[in-house]
Amino acid sequence: MARPKPLSGFPEWLPAERILENHIVETLQRTFELHGFASVNTRAVEPISLLAKDGEIDKEIYAVSRLHGEGTADAKNPLGLHFDLTVPFARYVVENAGKLAFPFKRYQIQPVWRGERPQEGRFREFYQADIDVVGDGELPAHFEAELPLVMAEVFRKLSEIGVPPIRIQVNNRKLLEGFSRGIGLSDVQPVLRALDKIDKIGPDAVGRLLAETAGADAEQQRLCLALAQIEGDDVSFADEVRALGVSHPMLDEGLEALTALIATAQQRAPGVVVAQLKIARGLDYYTGTVYETLLQGHEDLGSVCSGGRYDSLASEGDRTYPGVGVSLGISRLLTRLVNHNLVTVSRSVPTAVLVAVADEGQRGLADAIASTLRSRGIPTDVSPSAAKFGKQIRFADRRGIPFVWFAEDADSHQVKDIRSGEQVAADPGSWTPPEADLKPLITAAG
C-alpha cells in the first residue's frame, strides 16, 4: 500500500497531544458545569439555507450529499456541515423550547467544519467549545459580562499547565452602529466589516475600504478610525468616545452596555477584559456585545475565543430567543501549545504501571495483578511479551510508564520505579503510586 498523503486542515494529534487536548476539554467541562451550564449535543449537518443566511460564511460551508442518492431529495433540501455551534444551537432552542427552562445555559463541545485555507491555528475540521445563555423574549444584560468572565476562569486554570495569559477584547455592535449613523453613514454593515479588518490590512486600507463600500468621506473616515483606536480596561474609555462629538441614541445604548460590562470585569478579573472599539466580528447575527480573545505574547495566532450577543438568530413567529455566547477554538489553542512547545506531557499513555511477564505460563498471574490494580483506580497494562526483563523495562520507558511490576508467584511481588531504579516489595491490594504519577503530568515547558 502506498503511503497516503495527509489532508491539510484535518489535524490528527499524537497520543501525548491527545492527553493535553483531553485535559483542556475536562477543564472546560468542569468550569462550565460549576457555573450552571448544561451539556447539549447537536447534529453535524444543517440545511444550507439555515447555515448561509447570516454573515460572510457561505463560501466556506461544506455541502453534504450521498454518493448514490437519488438526487432529488438532496437537491430540494441541500445539507451542509455546521461551521460553528451557534447556528445549530439556535435551531435546537426553537425545536425544544417547550422542554427547556429559560434562561437556558448550555455548553457544547463538538467538531465543526469550515472550508478555508489551512494555516497554523486554522483548520477545516476543528474542535470548538461553546457556552451560551438564551432567554425567552428577553435576556438580562448581566449575562454579557458573565460569559467572558467564565472563559477568563478557564484560562486562569489552564495557566497552571503553561497556557499563556489572555486578553479578552470587547466591544458593542450597537455602539458601532450608533456611531456610524451619528456621522451620517446609514449603510452600517460595510462599516462594521471594514473596521473588523483593521488589524489585517491596516488603517489606511480600512479608510479606503470605508470610502469604497460605505461611501465615507474623509471626515467620516477620520472619525471611524479614531473610534477604532480607543481601548481601555476601565470605564474611562467612554470619555474618549464622547470626546469625538458624535451623538445617536443607539450609540448611547451601546456605550452604556459596554461601560457596565467593563465595570463588572474590572471588579472580578482586573486587567483581563479590555474595551477595544475596533472589534466588530464578521458574522451579521451579532447585535450587541462582541468578544475576541488573544493569547498574550502570541497575538499573531488571532482570536482563540470569540462570540457575542444575538437577538434574532433564534425565533419562531413572534417569539424570539435572544442569546449571548462565546466559542473557544480548542484545536487552535492546542496547535499553538504543541507547535511552540509551551507545554510538556510526562508520558504518551495514561498507564502508570506495566506488569512484567516472566514467561507466558505466568501471563494469567500478570493479568490478575493488573486487574487488582485497575480495580483500585491505577491505570495498568501488561507486557505484550515475555521478553527479557530489560526489554520489558525499555518498553515501559519508551512510553513514559514510571513503574514496572514483577511477580515470582502469587505471594512475592516487587515494583520498580524505572526512573530512580528503586525497587521495593509491594502488595497489589494496597500499593499506590504517588499522586503525581497516577496520571500523566502536564506542566509548562522549560
How confident is the model over 99-111, as a mean pLDDT? 97
Please list, in sequence order, all residues whose beta carbon lies within 8 angstroms of the beta carbon of residue 6, skipping any fewer than 6 positions away: none
CA distance 225 to 243: 14
pLDDT at 116: 83
CA distance 401 to 406: 14
- Per-residue pLDDT reduced to its tens digit, 400-422: 999 999 998 878 999 999 999 99
Q: What is the 3-state secondary structure (H, E, C) of the chain?
A: CCCCCCCCCCCCCCHHHHHHHHHHHHHHHHHHHHCCCEECCCCCEEEHHHHCCCCCCHHHCCEECCCCCCCHHHHHCCEEECCCCHHHHHHHHHHHHHHCCCCEEEEEEEEEECCCCCECCECCEEEEEEEEEECCCCCCCHHHHHHHHHHHHHHHHHHHHCCCCEEEEEEEHHHHHHHHHHCCCCCHHHHHHHHCCHHHHHHHHHHHHHHHHHCCCHHHHHHHHHHHCCEECCCCHHHHHHCCCCCCHHHHHHHHHHHHHHHHHHHHCCCCEEEECCCCCCCCCCCCEEEEEEECCCHHHCCCEEEEEECCCCEECCEECCEEEEEEEHHHHHHHHHHCCCEEECCCCCCCEEECCCCHHHHHHHHHHHHHHHHCCCCEEECCCCCCHHHHHHHHHHHCCCEEEEEEECCEEEEEECCCCCEEECCCCCCCCCHHHHCCCEEECC
CA dihedral 195, 199, 203, 209 (to 10 degrees): -50
Closest CA to 392 of 365, 366, 430, 369: 366
Chain-wide mean pLDDT for the chain? 92
- Residue 63 pairs in a beta bridge with 80
pLDDT at 440 over 90: yes
High-pLDDT (> 90) share of the chain, %: 81
pLDDT at 377 over 60: yes
Joined grid coordinates for residue 346: 510526562
At residue 279, what are phi and psi to the nearest 5 degrees? -75, 125
- Per-residue pLDDT reduced to its tens digit, 60-94: 899 998 877 655 556 677 899 999 999 899 999 99
- Per-residue pLDDT reduced to its tens digit, 272-331: 999 999 998 867 788 999 999 999 999 999 999 999 999 988 888 889 999 999 999 999
pLDDT at 52: 80
pLDDT at 329: 96
CA distance 185 to 215: 8
Least confident of 52-56, 88-92, 107-111, 176-180: 52-56
We find that the CATH architecture of domain 353-444 is 3-Layer(aba) Sandwich (3.40)
For residue 372, what pLDDT band results from cuts at 50, 70 and 90?
very high
pLDDT at 122 over 90: no
Closest CA to 90 of 61, 122, 54: 54
Tell how strand 403-409 and strand 353-355 pair up: parallel
pLDDT at 139 over 60: yes
pLDDT at 130: 98
pLDDT at 1: 57
Q: Which amino acid is at 274?
A: V
How confident is the model over 369-374, as a mean pLDDT? 98
pLDDT at 55: 53
Please tell me which of 25-29, 65-69, 232-236 the model is most confident about, judged by mean pLDDT. Answer: 25-29
CA distance 323 to 321: 6
CA dihedral 166, 30, 283, 47 (to 10 degrees): 150
pLDDT at 199: 86
pLDDT at 159: 96
pLDDT at 73: 53
pLDDT at 59 over 80: no
Closest CA to 273 of 243, 302, 301, 237: 237
Closest CA to 289 of 189, 145, 153, 93: 145
High-pLDDT (> 70) share of the chain, %: 96
